[in-house]
Chain A
Amino acid sequence: MTVTHWRLCAIAGLMVASAGVHAEVYRPNVQGNGLDSLQETDVQRGMFGAGFANTLTTNNDSQPSMMFSLRHFGGEKWYLLGELQMGLFSTRAVFQDGEEVRSDDEELLRFSFGAGYALLQGTASTSGVRVLPWSLAAEATVGEQYSGDTSGQYGSVGMSVQFHGERVWTSLGVREFLLTDERLAGIDSDAGTQWDISLGLWY
């Protein structure tokens, strides 16, 4: 083999080698920090519950109802509050000028939303070993109430004591409310007081 042959062989070898190198296409990837692969921690975003409410509207008898509530945490003390209440509104008829303004079988449906703020937070304990956090919160809601065949806007302010168990929570609440229902305003039955007790779970 001559020198020329050696050169040709060398060039051919280099080409083959370089082809092998170029066959590995460069594919850049965004480097992950590995955090996504870690196991997700369970998150508590709020609490929902169901309970019993007893409503005493002015010029009316106290009426029982069911109440469903949802509290979505907005931080350490604030939370958004949504409520749905269903039950009886009236079991006593009211007549004005011979005309029935409120019948004795009216039902109530209310939904409202608002916010709560934990004014006090503490710990309850009887044995000193197990502890139960509690909070006293101020709550305000606005919404709409359907009473019988009419409806009006609903506004309330109240207080709620909540006990936060490991799996369940419970609350006791009391509130004052106002309605803008013209029919009920005409018979002075557009405001009142309510207490409620709820039991629920975290979500």
Chain B
Amino acid sequence: MQFWGRSHHAILITLCLGVLSLSVSAQTYIGLRSGPSSTFPVVYEVTEKRELDVIYRRGSWVKVTDGRSRGWLHVDDLHLLATFPRDEMWKLANDARPGRIKLGLAGYLEGAYSIGLHLPLADHYLQLRAARGPESDSAWSQLDVSLIMPLAQPTESLSVSWLVTAGAGLEQQDNNRWRDLDDNPVWLLGGGVETSWHAERYFEVGARVEASVTAGDDMTLQPLTSVFWRIRL
């Protein structure tokens, strides 16, 4: 009897320890990183029941604190915190979504550069662009509007589009880009194709090949090849 009694106690203790270990292993730890990227190391860990306050947001990351220490957490991981208000979580996730308006900068093989604003227009984009090309002691400027339409999307992050452009060009200081004799403004019509790689959530890079002709009798053709950076605002 004494042997069986001890055996029962041992089984009971083992069972209790098993249940305890199960409850311990169910504890979730959430790592807070030193910076707003998954490449920064985890410097602090909190349990799912820890109450955290958001200090500020950068892109898809929020800097949070529990009053003792602080670190960065991705908005997609906020749901791991059982104590974090769900409405605030959805607002942060919603605010972290990139907008559709884009700001673009481009450098041209011909030595020019440009700045552009991309406004969404249904499935297309309307681009307002100002380009400038210094050439020795003279320069040219071009202001135009382009309608950019999707052509193909080979992969999720790669897209090909075509565009039509209308605008005006201005030669400065006896520049001869479009006309040899005078520096009066010229009307331009053009088109081209571009490919862009969505490198990050808010950022894309790409290349564009386009050509424009002067609307007039002489119809001077000017090709432009550019590399561009665009950021979603």
Contact = CB atoms under 8 A, between A and B. Distances in A.
Interface of A: 33-35, 38, 41-45, 72-78, 80, 113-115, 118, 120-123, 131, 133, 135, 142-144, 150-153, 164, 180, 182
A38 B111 contact: no
Nearest to A133: B35
B134 A144 contact: yes
Given A75-B199, A76-B36, A35 B59 contact: no
A121 B199 contact: no
Contact of A115 (B59, B62, B95, B205): B205
B58 A123 contact: no
Given A76-B39, A76-B59, 4 more contacts: A78-B202, A80-B105, A120-B39, A151-B134
A123 B203 contact: no
Contacts of B162: none
Interface string B76-93: 000000000001101110
Contacts of A73: 58-59, 202
Interface in B68-121: 87-88, 90-92, 94-95, 103, 105, 107, 111, 113
Contacts, number: 103
Contacts of A142: 107, 113
Interface string B36-48: 1111110100000
B199 to A, nearest CB: 6
Given A35-B87, A43-B57, A121-B37, A75 B201 contact: yes
A44 B111 contact: no
Interface of B: 34-41, 43, 54-62, 87-88, 90-92, 94-95, 103, 105, 107, 111, 113, 134, 136-137, 199-203, 205, 229, 231
Contacts of A113: 105, 113
A180 B111 contact: yes
A42 B64 CA distance: 12
B88 A44 contact: no
A133 B41 CA distance: 9
Contacts of B55: 42
A66 B17 CA distance: 67
A201 B71 CA distance: 19
A34 B90 CA distance: 10
B15 to A, nearest CB: 41
Contacts of A34: 87
A38 B88 contact: yes
Contact of A43 (B40, B56, B88, B107): B56
B134 A153 contact: yes
B207 to A, nearest CB: 14
18 contacts: A33-B87, A41-B54, A41-B62, A41-B92, A43-B56, A44-B58, A73-B58, A74-B202, A75-B200, A76-B38, A76-B39, A76-B61, A77-B39, A80-B231, A123-B41, A133-B34, A133-B40, A142-B107
Contacts of A151: 134
A180 to B, nearest CB: 7
